[in-house]
Amino acid sequence: MSLKRKYNQQPNIITRSTDDMTLIEKRIMYLVISTLDTGFNIQPDLFKNMEFKISFDQLKETNYSRIKSSVKKLQFRTLTLTDNDEKEDFFQIIPFPSVRIQGSVVTLKMMADVIPYFLELRKGFTKYELAAALALTSVYAQKLYELLSRWKDKKEWFVSLDELQNLLNAKNYRYPDFKINCLEKGLNEINEKTDLIATFEVEKTGKAVSSIRFFIKIKATIERQEAKESFDSDISELNAMQPSEVAVLVRQLLHNYTFSKQQSDLIMSTPSLFNKFIDIDRKFANGILSARNQTAYIASFLFGKNKK
């Protein structure tokens, strides 16, 4: 089965579900979700049973025994679904009642009455990078990544310790062990391998930890901000230099490109082109802009018929 998209859109009712799936089982779930056409106002009575085929390569696992063990367990796994954040009512589903392995391919069947729970986005959904989710090697990191992805637009997630341990299927941990084995190890892997950077702080009732507050940042946003700050610093340094010093620097920078002598001379002698060249060059240098052919890109701005 081929991956249909870079991101999974997972209904929040699935994100908030609890289970005791293994690492491989979760990867199977991610790959199945990646093939589904999610949407809004799904009509449950329109669906039929669906079959999915997943290769061992997609699971990033070559050990047949481990895959077989996970697939056998998956047939009986239940997901406990909570309708929303406020209600405590729940119900359970078995996503894959039929599973088999043939050669190096896992085949799974999802029943028609279960499919809508994986498709309906009307009550909210969690968007996460499929490749990042598949790269994680801890079940705690996997589930934390889903949960943090749900709240990344808010930049914070506040959750009681009891609820968090329930969501992570880690209710039997004492807090010191939960902190080390679930939170710290999970976040370290998320911060290293995914598009998110997350930290946390605890809140206590008396001396006991009662709640966790996560702080969530998107790496691309951090990188853009750092690039902007570096660019602004470059421009400030240039503004502080003498005009003759700037001219010498720009002449040196022009050697990084393949402009003709006539184009280089025109840049050096025309203030508007000179300033625009500095702006674009520094944006390239700091990662704000990228182009396969940087000379052609700059030339299109400075000398093109439709100068911008």
Per-residue pLDDT reduced to its tens digit, 268-303: 999 999 999 999 998 888 888 888 899 999 999 898
Question: What is the pLDDT, as a whole number, of residue 305?
Answer: 55
- For the chain, list the domains and their CATH numbers: 1-134 (1.10.10.10), 136-218 (1.10.10.10), 241-302 (no CATH)
Band the pLDDT of 105: cuts 50, 70, 90.
Answer: very high
Distance (Å, whole) CA 287 – CA 277: 15
Classify the phi-psi angles of 124: left when phi > 0, otherwise alpha if psi is within -120 to 50, otherwise beta.
Answer: left
Which parts of the chain fold into alpha helices (H)? Answer: 12-15, 23-35, 64-74, 115-119, 130-135, 139-151, 161-167, 175-178, 185-193, 219-240, 243-254, 261-269, 271-285, 294-302
pTM above 0.85, yes or no: no
Per-residue pLDDT reduced to its tens digit, 158-169: 999 999 999 999
The CA angle 203-142-2, to the nearest 5 degrees, is 155
Per-residue pLDDT reduced to its tens digit, 65-82: 999 999 989 988 888 887
Comparing CA positions, the residue from 109, 105, 83 lying closest to residue 94 is 109
Per-residue pLDDT reduced to its tens digit, 108-140: 999 988 998 898 888 889 999 999 999 999 999
Q: Kindly list the distances between the CA atom of residue 63 and the CA atoms of 23, 43, 68, 175, in Å, as whole numbers in the listed order.
A: 13, 40, 9, 34
User: Higher confidence at residue 43 or residue 238?
Assistant: 238
Question: What is the pLDDT, as a whole number, of residue 89?
Answer: 64
Band the pLDDT of 4: cuts 50, 70, 90.
Answer: low
Distance (Å, whole) CA 302 – CA 308: 8
Distance (Å, whole) CA 180 – CA 176: 6
The answer to whether residue 306 scores a pLDDT higher than 50 is no
